[in-house]
Amino acid sequence: MTTPTLPIYLDYAATAPADARVVEVMQRYLTVDQLFANPASRSHMLGWQAEQVIEQARRQVADAIGADPREIVWTSGATEADNLALIGFMRANRERGLHLVTSTIEHKAIVDTAHALEKEGFEVTWLTPGHDGRIEPEQLRAAMRDDTALVSLMAVNNELGTINDIAALAAVAHEFGAAFHTDAAQAVGRIPLDVVAQQIDLMSLSGHKTYGPKGVGALYVKRHPDIRVEALIHGGGHERGMRSGTLPTHQIAGMGEAFALMQQQYDEDNAHITDLQQRFLRGLEGLDGVISNTPLSDTEKRAVPNILNLAFEGVDGESLLMALRDVAVSTGSACNSASVDPSYVLLGIGTPRSLALSSLRFSFGRFTTEADIDHALALIRHAVSGLRRTPHGNTQYYPGCRTTDSSRARRARPRPRLARFGQAKRLFWL
């Protein structure tokens, strides 16, 4: 087997490398002998040609989610799309109500935006997910009010990989006359998306999570009189008045190509990544104290296969991250000399503080190889075993940070039950 290139990249949920086919498309729209013109320039052919490129990409993105191309609004990324969806919609629809419903474990682009809306006088209901990271329809129904204008719940959680039933959640929102928004940055190419069948009114999309370029994203805005969005960026009235600014033709063309490829390779990509996930889980068999924060089930698909959030008992996640210098992974914890801040997502699903501080997120992608997985596993097993033999590898104490286990959090957690870990049964918190 080929020796992998170091460091091994297992952080695809943070960003994915651009596919070479995407880069090839992007390079056509940059230099003087190519289609570099401003797509808003209507007075010459070069501008018209650039506009055609934009519209082709708009159709490619629309096709991936079952939308009309006219419903795609270009943004600088999913973060801007989330801001436009929440702030833009709530401001434009004050007469419908001032109430927004979301969850405590949404991406920070939603959480921080919702907090900003609270400062403007809007009311926000924060739903607490179950231990599997999902929001259930009946839970949402109980939070709905006559003045609820918008519900925003993500399709796939970026830290856990948990899948929400967005069709069922959207149906509840519509029962009460509210619009439904979902952040689908982690969902494209991972789960089926159809904005018509799933009754989605607003959907945030990212370019760089789908092997496309950074710096570009989109917001799907349903063409309906009741779905109005107020612009946050002004200056020229681009994108039907919802988002002004000169469009980056090369980035948009890249995102369009990336979305088209995700469609074409949907089955191939998911089969490959599922095989990698199972190989990874099997490789951890026999390593004690590995606890899955990601819901794993043999009977129900509750999470996408490309994201695995695992806790390693008795090991501080930051220390493990440092020990794995040849493996690029991520942790939701942040440490400085004064405090320890575990992942708010893990705490939000009831994970004890000590386990949250012991957790890392591993995420796989199109270009991850079996050799990558096997080499990473060897490094992980070595690092975990080594840290457990040292006092500073313990989650109770490490340089610059102190934490104690929360007995209250442990009591709040359900009893552990048996779930499959690869082919062997092992104890997990589910």
Pair 104, 135: CB distance under 8 Å: no
Question: What letter represents residue 288's amino acid?
Answer: D
The CA distance from 144 to 179, in Å, is 12
Active-site residue, from 205, 335, 380, 383:
335
Nearest to 157 by CA among 105, 121, 111: 105
The CA distance from 358 to 320, in Å, is 8
The CA distance from 34 to 51, in Å, is 14
Q: For the chain, how big is the Rg over CA atoms in Å? A: 22
Token pair of 19, please? 């596919």
54's CB contacts (< 8 A; 6+ apart) are 39, 74, 247, 249, 252, 253
Q: Identify the residue whose tokens are 């959090």.
A: 409
Token pair of 184, please? 């689908």
130's CB contacts (< 8 A; 6+ apart) are 136, 349
Helix (H) or strand (E) holding 280: helix 266-283
300, HSE (Cβ side, Cα atoms, 13 Å): 9
401 catalytic per annotation: no
Catalogue the active-site residues. Answer: 335
